[in-house]
Structures are given as C-alpha cells and as structure tokens.
C-alpha cells in the first residue's frame, strides 16, 4: 500500500497564509477532504481531477459523523491515494485531529501533520495586539466553548480562566459565552475586563469588535450570528 494522508492546516482562511508545504501537498493530492472553513479560494491550489469531499462540521447544521470522516480517510488511503485532510487554523487545536490519527494508526496507514497559522494568532494580528504582554499577560490559554453536546463544559478550571494576568482565547464559544461570563464574574473576574469578538478572521467577512466581557455577553444573549468567531479576553485586549 502506497496511500498516505497529509493533515494540512489551512490557517484562518486567507490563502496567502498557507505554508509552502501546505500548498505543495494540495497540488499533489489525489483527494482532499476539507472542512467548511478551509474551502473557497484555498481549494484553488488543488490540481484538476482530484476528488474534493466536503466533511465540515458547523454548529446547528447537519454534519457528517466523525466516524464517517475517519473511515473516508482510511478508504482513500487504502486505494493508494495521496490524501489531504484539510483543516482550518492549526489542525492540532480543537480540530478533532486525534480521532482521525487513531483511525489511521489502527489501519496501519502512514501520515504527516503540517502545522498552520492558528486562528487565535491571526485574530490578535488582525486586532493589532500581541497575545502576550511582558508584564501583564504572562500566560496564554486556549479553551473550547462547548463540549460534545454543544453546552459549556462542566469541568472548566474557572479559577484559571478568571486570572487577570492571563490572555484567554475561546474557540466556538459565542453561544455559551454568556454562561461562561456568569461563572467568571462569580469567581472574581471584573465584568469590565476587555474583550474582543473576532469574526471571519482574514477573510472578506472579517469583523473585529471591542467589548468588555459583560457587554459582549449581553450582546450574545440577544443575537448570535452564524459567522465563525473567536472571543479573546484579558489584558491583551486593552488599548
């Protein structure tokens, strides 16, 4: 068997942020299984004749089961296909990479992981701020805003998230952020803590909004768009 799987990280959406290695693997692929946020102009690097298979998952929409996606990777590789699994941001950050690697290992299929620009880094760059600050933000923490049921995880370390000296980035958290803020404020985080809502980072739909954690929670209680977004809060968001 000569099949091989490349997990390619596409970055936040702007094709100019792809790595050279990512572009090379896309050009040589026989099949590309891509997430919704990795589609569009990024797929322009795929050669004519390659199979393009959409396997993206979006909150509130019908999506393929993870077991189905993992099995597709195995099936393509077992047909001796050079297969790319295209994931948004960096594939190792809340991208369900582990489940797919486990399936490949069980089938004896070789693979590689190609890192990319994390969407959190791109969001901070778009806002013109660093993710860390030498004196006031010495720790950066990435968290997911929901568990497998779509709810706010019950086992979050709220004390760590309420630490005023940390920079926090919430992935997939717009719908659960109001509940998270309630818990953070109860643990001592001031409601006036600066926050950013970063939607559609690096794409034509990009929008960066400055808030406090409380004002953002209030806004998201009233209206939540379907645009992919990150929420950043802490001293990193200060002007």
The single residue listed with the structure tokens 């099995």 is: 71
Residue that is last in its domain, among 94, 114, 134? 114
- Answer yes or no: do 229 and 128 share one domain: yes
- Answer yes or no: do 10 and 53 share one domain: yes
- Answer yes or no: do 145 and 216 share one domain: yes
90 is an active site residue: no
Give residue 184's region: left, alpha or beta (phi > 0; psi -120 to 50).
Answer: alpha
Residue 95 CA to chain centroid, in angstroms?
6
- Answer yes or no: do 105 and 125 share one domain: no
R_g (Cα) of the chain, nearest Å? 19
Instruction: Supply the mean pLDDT for the chain.
Output: 92
Residue that is last in its domain, among 79, 94, 114? 114
Residue that is last in its domain, among 48, 81, 114? 114
- State pLDDT tens for residues 167-198: 999 999 999 999 999 999 999 999 999 999 99
Q: What is the CATH number of the domain that holds 186?
A: 3.30.950.10
Give residue 94's region: left, alpha or beta (phi > 0; psi -120 to 50).
Answer: left
Catalytic residue among 14, 30, 35, 90: 35
57 is an active site residue: yes
CB 100, CB 131: distance < 8 Å: no
- Answer yes or no: do 68 and 149 share one domain: no
Q: What is the CATH number of the domain that holds 45?
A: 3.40.1010.10
> Could you give the CA distance from residue 238 to residue 129 in angstroms, rounded to a whole number?
9
Q: For residues 58 and 114, which has the higher predicted lDDT (pLDDT)? A: 114
- Answer yes or no: do 149 and 101 share one domain: no
> Could you give the CA distance from residue 99 to residue 122 in angstroms, rounded to a whole number?
26
What is the residue range of 92's domain?
Answer: 4-114
Total domain count, the chain: 2
The pLDDT of residue 135 is 82
- Answer yes or no: do 98 and 156 share one domain: no
Catalytic residue among 36, 57, 179, 218: 57
- Answer yes or no: do 131 and 146 share one domain: yes
Tokens found for residue 235: 């001293």
CB 197, CB 229: distance < 8 Å: yes
Residue 230's nearest CA partner among 150, 136, 125, 159 is 125
- State pLDDT tens for residues 17-45: 999 999 999 999 999 999 988 888 999 99
Tokens found for residue 171: 């992935």
- State pLDDT tens for residues 125-184: 999 999 998 888 889 999 999 888 889 999 999 999 999 889 999 999 999 999 999 999
Query: CA dihedral in degrees (128, 133, 139, 140; nearest 10)?
Result: 0
The pLDDT of residue 57 is 67
């Amino acid at each position: 068997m000569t099949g091989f799987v490349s997990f390619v990280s596409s970055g936040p959406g702007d094709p100019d942020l792809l790595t050279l290695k990512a572009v090379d693997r896309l050009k040589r692929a026989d099949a590309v299984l891509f997430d919704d946020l990795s589609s569009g102009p990024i797929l322009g690097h795929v050669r004519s004749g390659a199979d393009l298979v959409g396997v993206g998952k979006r909150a509130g929409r019908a999506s393929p089961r993870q077991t189905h996606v993992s099995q597709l990777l195995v099936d393509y590789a077992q047909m001796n296909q050079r297969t790319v699994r295209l994931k948004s941001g960096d594939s190792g950050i809340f991208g369900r990479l582990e489940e797919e690697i486990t399936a490949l290992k069980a089938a004896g299929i070789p693979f590689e992981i190609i890192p990319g620009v994390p969407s959190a880094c791109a969001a901070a760059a778009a806002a013109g701020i660093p993710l860390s600050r030498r004196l006031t933000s010495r720790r950066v923490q990435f968290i997911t805003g929901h568990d497998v049921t779509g709810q706010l995880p019950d086992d979050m370390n709220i004390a760590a998230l309420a630490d005023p000296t940390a920079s926090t980035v919430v992935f997939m958290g717009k719908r659960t952020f109001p509940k998270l803020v309630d818990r953070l404020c109860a643990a001592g985080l001031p409601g006036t803590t600066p926050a950013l809502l970063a939607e559609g980072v690096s794409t034509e739909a990009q929008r960066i909004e400055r808030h406090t954690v409380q004002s953002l929670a209030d806004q998201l209680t009233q209206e939540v768009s379907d645009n992919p977004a990150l929420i950043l809060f802490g001293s990193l968001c200060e002007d």
